[in-house]
């Protein structure tokens, strides 16, 4: 990284010091965010599908839970698989394939002749779409300048309540036709898959995987389009080109824990507990409300209110993570969101108060989730960024995948809603306390391409 004793900037440093331009990095943000919106749409749709599919096929509460479980387990495996694949074959290629798989199996699910086939197709659709979050965050993060990276990565989560709210509005309009609810997602998803072909490969990935010529071409184009003048620089980050294999995927998992066991354990604990809380509420809220006497139309509207309020939460989170730091936002808002759900559950008999507290939950939980996404994507070096995020997302979705089943067959019937949400809230609080001890604050910290991750200083 030096010539004649004078240190040169690396291409990675050049990218992270570029000025932000909406027509350059902003285009990647918008395209990546739309994929994230489809992820939200599909997860939210589970909650609307459960009461409708259960009514059509005469399912019990425990059987209907498999609608959410099958889809979320598919997403969990997809997050793991696509995050690892993105680190091995590139962000762009993985970026382009996730929605295609989702679209094919969503369309097939709308034609399912029976419940077992339907659950299988929901699993396969989730397997494709599960890759959107880790791949999108890795790609957007690696194109975003360091000085605005936290704000941009946190703002990425605004696409989640946008997608969830669109899902609610469409579901309200189309209910009780659940097959149409599935089909309506396919055309825009395929269109976005086509648009994604214009997104360049991450130059950080190209440099790391031994493709310096391609990396230099992408960086030079970014410099030109943003109007920057970086001076002399070298691509840097060279290394052997990775190959996709089971051994390579297993090696990535080992590398995550060698990189920093406390950081990885904190990330996994946060993802697991926060999303246990969120997916449990999101998946079962329409059913909770219909059981309390709401019609499908009213129950779907209240759920849509919860997701719509989250848009304001994301925007506030994007500001707070730069002012207070990632750890403070996550550590306070996660337990507070659980508290709002406990109050909601105890006040279900008072409709106005219950709606207020579910709206509070929708706002506060969206302070925590975008901060957590930004935080996790900053904890790892380039070589592990997508797979590190992907494994954390996998853990969360495996846990959350069983939430519909456990919630519908055990927790809700036997422990009641307040006790269920209180138990999950305690777990969220414990994970936040472990994060405070085990992981560093990443506010304004430069993304790094560490070739010796085991030597990263401990927090």
397-418 tens-digit pLDDT: 777 777 777 776 777 777 788 8
First CA to last CA distance, the chain: 27
8 Å CB contact between 36 and 132: yes
Show the domain range for 126.
2-442+450-455
Report how many helices (DSSP H) and strands (DSSP E) the chain contains, helices first. Answer: 19, 4
336-359 tens-digit pLDDT: 999 999 999 999 888 889 899 999
269-284 tens-digit pLDDT: 999 899 888 888 888 8
219-223 long-range contacts, CB within 8 A, separation 24+:
219/11, 219/14, 219/15, 222/15, 222/18, 222/24, 222/143, 223/14, 223/18
Task: Return the higher-pLDDT residue of 252 and 206.
Answer: 206
Task: Return the higher-pLDDT residue of 46 and 218.
Answer: 46
Cα angle: 159, vertex 94, 236; to 5 degrees: 100
Q: What percent of the chain is predicted at pLDDT more than 70?
A: 86
Residue 453 pLDDT level (bands cut at 50, 70, 90) = very low
Task: Return the higher-pLDDT residue of 87 and 302.
Answer: 302
Task: Give the model's pLDDT for residue 177.
Answer: 92
Helix, strand, coil content of the chain in percent (nearest 5): 80, 0, 20
Q: How far apart are CA 339 and CA 380, in angstroms?
A: 31
Task: Give the model's pLDDT for residue 361.
Answer: 95
- Here the CATH number for the domain that contains residue 319 is 1.20.1250.20
Q: How far apart are CA 239 and CA 150, in angstroms?
A: 28
Residue 444 pLDDT level (bands cut at 50, 70, 90) = low
Task: Return the higher-pLDDT residue of 261 and 113.
Answer: 113
CA 151, 157, 159, 161 torsion-angle sign: negative
226-253 tens-digit pLDDT: 888 777 777 765 544 445 455 666 776 7
The torsion region of residue 242 among left (phi > 0), alpha (psi -120 to 50) and beta comes to beta
- Collect all residues with Cβ–Cβ distance below 8 Å to 261 and sequence separation of at least 6: none
Residues forming beta bridges with residue 3, ordered by sequence position: 6
Average pLDDT, integer, range 123-145: 80
Q: How far is CA 349 from CA 133, 286, 344, in A?
A: 37, 16, 10
- Count of domains for the chain: 1
Of the listed ranges 206-210, 305-309, 340-344, the least confidently predicted one is 206-210
27-69 tens-digit pLDDT: 888 888 887 788 888 888 998 999 999 989 998 878 888 998 8
Q: How far is CA 356 from CA 61, 188, 332, in A?
A: 26, 33, 20
| Residue carrying the six token digits 């609080």 | 429
Residue 174 pLDDT level (bands cut at 50, 70, 90) = very high
């Amino acid at each position: 990284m030096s010539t004649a004793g004078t240190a040169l900037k690396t291409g990675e440093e050049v990218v992270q010091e570029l000025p932000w331009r909406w027509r350059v990095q902003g285009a990647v943000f918008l395209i990546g965010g739309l994929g994230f919106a489809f992820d939200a749409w599909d997860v939210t749709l589970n909650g609307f599908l459960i009461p409708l599919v259960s009514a059509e096929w005469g399912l019990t509460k425990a059987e209907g839970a498999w609608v959410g479980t099958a889809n979320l387990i598919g997403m969990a495996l997809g997050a793991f698989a696509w995050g690892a694949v993105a680190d091995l074959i590139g962000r762009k290629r993985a970026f382009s394939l996730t929605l295609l798989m989702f679209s094919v199996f969503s369309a097939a699910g709308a034609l399912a002749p029976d419940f077992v086939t339907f659950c299988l197709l929901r699993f396969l659709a989730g397997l494709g779409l599960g890759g959107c979050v880790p791949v999108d965050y890795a790609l957007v993060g690696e194109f975003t300048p360091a000085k605005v990276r936290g704000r941009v990565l946190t703002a990425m989560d605004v696409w989640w309540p946008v997608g969830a709210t669109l899902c609610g509005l469409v579901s309200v309009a189309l209910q009780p036709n659940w097959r149409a609810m599935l089909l309506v997602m396919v055309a825009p998803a395929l269109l976005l898959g086509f648009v994604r072909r214009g997104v360049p490969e991450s130059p950080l990935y190209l440099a790391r995987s031994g493709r310096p010529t391609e990396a230099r071409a992408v960086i030079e184009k970014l410099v030109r389009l943003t109007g920057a003048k970086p001076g002399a620089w070298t691509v840097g980050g060279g290394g052997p080109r990775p190959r996709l294999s089971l051994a390579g995927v297993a090696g990535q998992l080992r590398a995550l824990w060698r990189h920093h066991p406390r950081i990885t354990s904190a990330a996994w604990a946060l993802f697991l507990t926060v999303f246990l809380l969120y997916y449990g509420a999101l998946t079962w809220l329409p059913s909770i409300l219909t059981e309390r006497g709401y019609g499908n139309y009213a129950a779907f509207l209240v759920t849509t209110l919860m997701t719509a309020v989250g848009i304001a939460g994301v925007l506030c989170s994007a500001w707070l993570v730069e002012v207070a730091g990632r750890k403070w936002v996550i550590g306070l808002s996660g337990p507070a969101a659980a508290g709002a759900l406990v109050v909601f559950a105890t006040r279900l008999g008072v409709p106005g108060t219950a709606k207020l507290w579910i709206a509070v939950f929708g706002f506060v939980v969206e302070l925590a989730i975008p901060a957590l996404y930004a935080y996790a994507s900053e904890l790892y070096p380039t070589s592990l960024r997508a797979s590190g995020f992907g494994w954390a997302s996998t853990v969360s979705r495996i846990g959350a995948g069983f939430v519909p089943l456990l919630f519908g067959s055990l927790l809700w019937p036997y422990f009641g809603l307040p006790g269920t949400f209180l138990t999950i809230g305690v777990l969220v609080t414990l994970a936040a306390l472990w994060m405070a001890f085990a992981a560093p604050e990443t506010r304004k910290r430069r993304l790094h391409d560490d070739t010796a991750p085991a030597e990263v200083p401990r927090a």
